[in-house]
A and B are shown apart, each in its own frame.
Chain A
Amino acid sequence: MATTTEPSRPAAPRVVAQYGASARPVGGTAFETFSWYFFRWSGVVLLFLVIIHLILMHVVTDVSMTTYTFVQHRYQNPFWRVYDLVLLTLALLHGLNGLRIIADDYIHTRGWRVFAQSVLGLTVVTFWLMGTLTIVMFPTK
């Protein structure tokens, strides 16, 4: 810094390493970025999954017809088990993420925020396990 610049000195080469194509966040965690991105694409995917689910289960099939045997028949095709598992997982995580951000915004005491988010996380894990157990273990016979 203290060196005086001489008139003959060539201009410093332009370094573009940290600007332009490679200006990535340096250090830190990418969790918030990932969470934001997940929020977006899971929302788009859920839109289709939920609409198709609603049409098949509530419009095409009358609600009075969605009986135990109906589900048994439906789950003979593993595609619907996978479909329901994806729907369950994405819906729970998408909802969890939204509630997590609301907690981040409105709960300003660190302790209470950690508490609220732990309760949220546990609730989601519980619901996911219950749903997954049903989807995977539902007997077809």
Chain B
Amino acid sequence: MSTATRTPAAARRSGADLLAVAIKVKRYQPDRSDKPYWQEFQLQVEPKDRLVDALNQIKWEQDGTLTFRRSCLHGVCGSDAMRVNGRNRLACKLLMKDVGTRITIEPMLGFPVIRDLVVDMDPFFAKYEKVKPFLINDEPAPAAERLQSAEERARYDDTTKCILCGACTGSCPSVWANRDWVGPASIVNAHRFIFDSRDRAAGERLRILGDRNGVWRCRTIFNCTEACPRGIHVTDAIEEVKRAIMYGSTETE
């Protein structure tokens, strides 16, 4: 079955407008060596192939040991965030024609590396859970639903888009320096509930984020905003949380 799905791709790659690319990957195979090493792969790709297609091509046709996460392949699951030419990107949202012919791929910084491009996301999710990323409201539920106006919904719309790929957190120099720092992704997800009119635990989250490893460790470097594959204005969201702590209010303007 698997060959049936791969053969057309190989046949498709026989056209004249193929790109010859060199992909340099930072490998880490703990059962072979304690140290990471670089390996370069030469391959032919279609201009409209995605980077993840190129990685699959390497894995399926050149080196089956190349390890990386991918799942939905459509920029929704957030599995294949990696450092491409020094910037965190989703491999499934990058077209080969846009990424150049010499590509350097590393696992995201700021995370422990498990194998090749696979990083340990456990600390990331532990920090995510720390900000209580769920609706908290102990008031008796109304008969139908907790109503919210379009304006109230728009207030936190941007931060609902997060797919928890970790690209922002892995691009943040404050995280590289201090892995205990809560990081941009957690603040984005806290923002999503702090500014939700139905939620009642803004004060609790603002206390968590006002601590030593909370929002004040953000130095507004903007790497997170640049890295976000969903186009979330991450630094803006962090600044809004800072302002909410500072002025004791989640109201803007």
Contact = CB atoms under 8 A, between A and B. Distances in A.
Interface of A: 3, 5-7, 9-12, 15-16, 18-28, 30, 32-33, 35-37, 101, 104-106, 108
Interface stretch (B52-60, B72-80, B118-126, B243-251): B243-251
A23 B212 contact: no
A5 B143 contact: yes
B210 A19 contact: no
Interface in B162-186: 174, 177-181
Q: Point out which of B177, B206, B210 has the most chain A C-beta atoms below 10 A from its C-beta.
A: B210
Nearest to A11: B142
Given A25-B203, A32-B210, A108-B178, 9 more contacts: A9-B143, A12-B141, A18-B200, A26-B204, A26-B207, A28-B211, A32-B216, A101-B217, A105-B177
A105 B251 contact: no
Contact of A18 (B179, B180, B201): B201
A108 to B, nearest CB: 7
Nearest to B249: A21
B202 interface: yes
A22 B200 contact: no
Contacts of A30: 210
Give 4 nearest A-B pairs by CB, closest first. A26-B203, A24-B248, A11-B142, A23-B202
A11 B178 contact: no
Contact of A25 (B174, B177, B210): B210
Interface string B118-153: 000000000000000000000111111001000000
B108 interface: no
Contacts of B250: 19-20, 23
Given A11-B142, A11-B143, A32-B216, A20 B203 contact: no
B245 A19 contact: no
Nearest to A40: B246
B178 A106 contact: yes
B66 to A, nearest CB: 32
Nearest to A18: B200
B199 interface: yes
Contacts of B140: 3, 12
B117 interface: no
A23 B104 CA distance: 45
B194 interface: yes
16 contacts: A3-B140, A18-B203, A19-B250, A21-B249, A21-B251, A24-B248, A26-B206, A27-B207, A30-B210, A33-B245, A35-B216, A101-B217, A105-B174, A105-B178, A105-B217, A108-B178
